[in-house]
Structure 1
């Protein structure tokens, strides 16, 4: 690679959609025993000092690689780093590298010629491109992590059986410090694109970025994985074509798939209401993509339970399908039975739900009596408008305003006996 190419590396457009989740590797990336992080000099710019310390995350399709970046020593233009990588198929590897600082990037090269490039998205999240000499490459994302936040994985019973075994659902909980009870957000994942890659079904989907935003404000956030998704049991079947080649936008398949997902969520809600660390008086429900519309319908099914709904780029089927207008507005109208406030967050350059299509769903929601606010977030050029969860700077102020309104509403509500 020429010096000019090295200076002008191209980052894939999808990078902003990647979240600093836990990896799916059963093998943990391990750094050498002699790792030592040195406090950065006080005269270094804050953008450079922010690199110091240990970053953890993942890389590769299906989050197959566990990755750690340890930035040991920093100067104005360079850094001593240790990068460790591990996966079930390739084992464990680590190496200490002298990296160069270029703007918001760290760039280094292993002794075997593979190149590393880290880009700081914000002081808590960095993106990774790892390129081998033969041209193969993987992308990933890492974070500093949240001090005081506990990540707990649980199993939720459903009372339903397949092949003689009870189906349990995986639920990942991000808890702030303390015993609770905590105000709690139930946040629901979306689909896997067009549904034609079964390898994606078993990846657990959370949003540590969103969880941190709420944890920092004292909220607990739970991420249930519906049937057949993540490590949940059962068959994943939320509206496929008869041959299961991909999702169907035919109402005869898509709508029963929606009902199936709603039943799974009902099991999770019932489970949460029995927990001592959940404040029943301060419950929100939300979700991304399919999860956003699922949250609307779930709130409508429990009109007195949730204080509000957060809908991030919600919809159930891709608007380009022949029957999307018979599905998305119908679900939106159903959500209008929820009497509380809702926040609808969308953005331009969304390959699944354009702003115009989503406004039609919102209009149907309002006409049916729903209470909500529709916001179009301003993404940067080239950003995927469907994947905004990691862009806290975009939605953070709007969500904080919504939380303030919901809190006031809850404090003014009559106290239940």
Structure 2
């Protein structure tokens, strides 16, 4: 059953998510199990007899938690692994009322081969691989959904009322130089730390917009990207996802180019839209300055990345501070979508500003993007290079109709390109 991606447009949390087509397949294919007694773990269920065999030498053994596509909570408990690599596994997944299925758990068989494990049930499979961070990279089936799983203590998890850290990231409030109404503004930032005490080079990943900008409920959703963070952690980066003013749990007003009547959402007026971009740059500058005060971050250049509006922001920030940025990864970047007749004027103004960064960037765009067509993004790239910028541009096919804006949600589409680009930065 295909998922309607257009329902995702406008959601900050779901901008990088292809929500759980895997769960629909799973629940159609496998009857839900039940037990006389079950353990509730932060809304999910495990059988009452869940246990981890003592003394297992395999690093897979134990309890793992994560979020499919950054949203749907899941637990994987590897109870035992025999000498032949056959594993007994409990898989639990949260309810998704929007898709009409309830929370459930399944006891399954897995097989371990080196740093990989395959868990199979009737009609579906989960492929897991260790990353160098010690986390598991999980892929459902043939690549419908993705998750990063972090190890947790099972005994602590099953305590009544236990709170679970479902993401490897940690949310904190950054004290910044920003003020509104003479009050200091904190910016919520989600940090993903690599192994070791550091100091580590800093990578910043910027969130996008909220679709049309006319739903205030979406402003309060915090966005991060577990998989991209893990890729960067693996290479030693401390990864930060700052939520700009009025977004997530950040203080201040969200005012990135909205109409004077905020119920109308984002403005197509170039002056108003570009003023919103300048405000976002100000927030990003403030977040980086605050992060620079940490002992676990180096004083060297920052790697910039972002998705959608955040991809454009990453590029423009590099143009403003070329000596302070090591590289830029731009996923489907733009400031205003083509629903605005002024989008070319606005977006090309910004890419000209970005062109002051003279080292190569990586630009990744999706075909059949409802926000930014390939013709539009190629024109942005041409304007950028004509102004003196350098970017390796890729147009990527995303399966399904109208799904091109979700490139970042599908790691196999970009892993090789991103890793090659990161290699080039260290050459």
Both structures adopt the same fold (TM-score exceeding 0.5): yes
Match of 2:11 in 1: none
Residue 184 of structure 2 aligns to a residue whose secondary structure is strand
Q: Secondary structure at the match of 2:303?
A: strand
Q: What is the distance in 2 between the residues matched to 1:155 and 1:19? A: 28
8 Å CA contact 1:315, 1:353 repeated in 2: yes
From 145, 149, 155, the counterpart of 1:144: 149
Structure 1 unaligned runs (5+)? 1-9, 21-25, 40-50, 88-92, 108-116, 129-138, 409-417
Query: What is residue 28 of structure 2 aligned with on the other side?
Result: none
The Cα offsets for residues 46-71 of structure 1, whole Å up to 9 and x where unpaired, read as xxxxx9964534589x95x7554547
Matched residues in 2 for 1:104 and 1:314: separation?
36
Counterpart for residue 371 of structure 2: 352
* Residue number among 236, 239, 244 corresponding to 1:221 in the alignment: 239
Aligned equivalents of 1:388 and 1:180: distance in 2? 31
Asked whether 1:165 is paired with 2:183, we answer: yes
* Contact 2:304 2:328 (8 Å CA) reproduced: yes
Answering whether residue 339 of structure 2 is matched by residue 324 of structure 1, we say no
Shift of 1:154: 2.3
Structure 2 unaligned residues grouped into runs of 5+: 9-13, 20-40, 55-59, 82-86, 97-101, 111-117, 130-136, 153-166
Distance, in Å, in 2 between the alignment partners of 1:296 and 1:185 is: 13
State whether residues 56 and 142 of structure 1, in contact with CA within 8 Å, keep that contact through their aligned partners in structure 2. Answer: no
Asked if residue 12 in structure 1 is aligned to residue 12 in structure 2, the reply is no
The counterpart of 1:35, out of the listed 50, 53, 57, is 50
User: Does the 8 Å contact 2:108/2:119 carry over to 1?
Assistant: no
Question: Match of 2:352?
Answer: 333
* Count of aligned pairs: 357
3-state DSSP class of the match of 2:169? strand
TM-score normalised over the length of structure 2: 0.71
The alignment's C-alpha RMSD in Å is 4.0
- 1:125 matched to 2:130? The reply is no
Shift of 1:98: 5.9
CA contact (8 A) 1:13 1:383 kept: no
Between stretches 223-232 and 393-402, larger displacement belongs to 393-402
Q: TM-score of the superposition, structure 1-length normalised?
A: 0.73
Return the alpha-carbon distance in structure 1 between the equivalents of residues 422 and 312 of structure 2.
19
Any idea what the Cα deviations from partners look like across 1:254-273, whole Å, max 9, x if unmatched?
A: 11111111100010121233
> How far does residue 382 in structure 1 lie from its aligned partner after superposition?
4.4
* Alignment correspondent of 1:177: 195
SS in 2 for 1:153: strand
Of 334-343 and 27-36, deviating more is 27-36
Q: Please name the residue that 2:29 is paired with.
A: none
Q: Secondary structure at the match of 2:299?
A: strand
Deviation at 1:196, TM superposition (A): 2.5
Kept in 2, the 8 Å contact 1:13–1:384? The answer is no
Provide closer, same or farther for how the CA distance between residues 146 and 236 of structure 1 changes in structure 2, counting only shifts above 3 A: farther
Q: Distance in 1 between matches of 2:371 and 2:377?
A: 10
Paired position in structure 1 for 2:221: 203
Give yes or no for the alignment of 1:259 onto 2:264: no
